[in-house]
């Protein structure tokens, strides 16, 4: 068995992070770990400067409105950001369109708006290849549709959605287009204005190469989001109500400064390596993995006949073996970390028919995986398939002789 852990759970969180990110976070936290934007001494101003510079840099990175960087607001993660955007945009009597590919970070807040606050929702299914068709969105539009919200890349089957086309449909109908970029920020170039994205939600701990506990929203200049939470802002303290202006409108309390520092260092690393190069390398490994798995008897792969418009996230099952058991064998016998089950996205598993069989086994390849890792994964699945085959044969013999 491999001594080192082979990590294929990058869709959950990218790990490890670049050395330069660890170093910068550590150094910045030690030297500037004071409360930014609250006081006038030099260190507090310097800490606040990194925060402002990171707003600007990420706004540019996402193709947002560079003249309004204060509309990039920080929160804890993409779930937190979506929990600001969804109730801030949808109200009683409003209709929202979303999809079967969503993570619970969209499904649950949308369903709460429906059950608890009188909104309406339509969940559009993906096609057989795992894509949301712009026409399906168009057909779901009603007179009271206010928002379309969907992810850019699926965390279960890895398909990348045609945002630009869907954004155009939204623009034509005056509908706000909200995109969850958890799986694609730092993987695939995103341009809010070119793709007609009105509100972009991001999380720091995946391919943006930052730490856990940092994420946020980038809000287009023309978009009005109601402020739904409140607290200290460090400015205008005499005001007994939360500020209307950005960034305070959607921020409250002490920000996660080490997390923001990690995003800054993550941007440096992405600039140095180039996200297209990293993605190309990840997809070459994904191709090898799919080719290897396809040859193993009993393996079923989902939505990866073509890896065009695809992330390096591959979902599989092994006939006759519970995906949870495959995951345990990969872990215990082969030191390989994957994620099994429903991946917090029950509707896509339901559509694939895997919900009732406990989901699937997800290999998610990251920037630090190697060809050896992929070869080890294929060999491990071969091993488990062989064991499953023998078990099946023994069962048959036992049935025949009993």
Ligand X SMILES: Cc1ncc(COP(=O)(O)O)c(C=O)c1O
Q: Give contact residues for ligand X (rule: CB under 6 A).
A: 12, 77-79, 103, 105, 151, 155, 180, 182-183, 203, 215
Contact in structure between 355 and 306 (CB atoms under 8 Å) = no
Least distance CB 50 / ligand X (angstroms): 22
- Closer Cβ to ligand X, 77 or 100, answer by number: 77
What region does 214 belong to: left with phi over 0, alpha with psi -120 to 50, or beta?
beta
Phi first, then psi, for residue 111 (nearest 5°) are -65, -35
- Closer Cβ to ligand X, 59 or 364, answer by number: 364
At 335, list the tokens: 């030191």
Measured over the CA atoms of residue 126, residue 128, residue 134 and residue 138, the dihedral's sign is negative
- Closer Cβ to ligand X, 183 or 354, answer by number: 183
Phi first, then psi, for residue 252 (nearest 5°) are -155, 140
CA distances from 5 to 218, 276, 313 (A): 36, 27, 18
- Closer Cβ to ligand X, 180 or 251, answer by number: 180
Q: Which residues contact 37 (CB under 8 A, 6 or more apart)?
A: 44, 48, 51, 234, 235, 255
Least distance CB 48 / ligand X (angstroms): 25
Least distance CB 327 / ligand X (angstroms): 16
Q: Which residue has its beta carbon closest to ligand X?
A: 155
Q: How far apart are CA 252 and CA 262, in angstroms?
A: 20
Contact in structure between 113 and 178 (CB atoms under 8 Å) = no
Least distance CB 6 / ligand X (angstroms): 20
- Closer Cβ to ligand X, 184 or 369, answer by number: 184
Least distance CB 218 / ligand X (angstroms): 15
- Closer Cβ to ligand X, 348 or 378, answer by number: 348
Least distance CB 153 / ligand X (angstroms): 7
Q: How far apart are CA 167 and CA 197, in angstroms?
A: 6
Least distance CB 151 / ligand X (angstroms): 4
- Closer Cβ to ligand X, 150 or 278, answer by number: 150
Q: How far apart are CA 221 and CA 351, in angstroms?
A: 37
């Amino acid at each position: 068995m491999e001594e080192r852990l082979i990590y294929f759970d990058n869709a959950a969180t990218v790990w490890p992070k670049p050395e330069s990110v660890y170093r910068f976070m550590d150094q910045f936290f030690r030297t500037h770990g004071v409360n930014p934007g609250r006081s006038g001494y030099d260190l507090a101003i310097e800490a606040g400067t990194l925060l402002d510079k990171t707003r600007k840099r990420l706004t540019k990175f996402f193709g947002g409105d560079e003249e309004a960087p204060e509309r990039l607001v920080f929160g804890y993660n993409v779930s937190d950001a979506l929990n600001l955007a969804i109730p801030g945009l949808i109200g009683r009597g409003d209709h929202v369109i979303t999809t079967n590919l969503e993570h619970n970070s969209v499904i649950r807040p949308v369903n709460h708006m429906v059950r608890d606050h009188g909104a309406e929702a339509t969940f559009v299914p993906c096609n057989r290849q795992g894509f949301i068709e712009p026409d399906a969105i168009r057909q779901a539009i009603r007179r009271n549709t206010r928002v379309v919200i969907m992810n850019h890349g699926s965390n279960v089957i890895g398909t990348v959605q045609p945002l630009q086309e869907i954004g155009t449909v939204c623009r034509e109908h005056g509908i706000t287009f909200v995109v969850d970029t958890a799986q694609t920020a730092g993987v695939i170039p995103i341009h809010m204005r070119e793709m007609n994205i009105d509100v972009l939600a991001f999380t720091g701990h995946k391919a943006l190469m930052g730490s856990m506990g940092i994420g946020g929203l980038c809000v287009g200049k023309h978009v009005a989001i109601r402020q739904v939470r409140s607290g200290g802002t460090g400015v205008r303290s005499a005001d007994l109500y939360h500020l209307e202006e950005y960034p305070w409108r959607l921020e409250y309390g002490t920000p996660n400064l080490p997390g923001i520092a990690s995003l800054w260092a993550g941007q440096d690393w992405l600039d140095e390596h180039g996200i297209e190069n990293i993605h190309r390398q990840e997809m070459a490994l994904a191709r090898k993995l799919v080719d290897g798995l396809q040859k193993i008897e009993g393996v079923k792969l989902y939505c990866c006949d073509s890896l065009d418009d695809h992330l390096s996230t591959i979902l599989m099952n092994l006939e006759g073996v519970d995906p949870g058991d495959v995951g345990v064998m990969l872990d215990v016998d082969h030191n390989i970390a994957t994620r099994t089950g429903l991946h917090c996205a029950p509707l896509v598993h339901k559509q694939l028919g895997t919900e009732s069989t406990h989901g699937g086994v997800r290999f998610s390849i990251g920037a630090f995986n190697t060809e050896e890792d992929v070869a080890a994964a294929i060999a491990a699945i071969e091993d488990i398939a062989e064991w499953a085959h023998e078990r099946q044969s023994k069962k048959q013999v036992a049935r025949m002789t009993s």
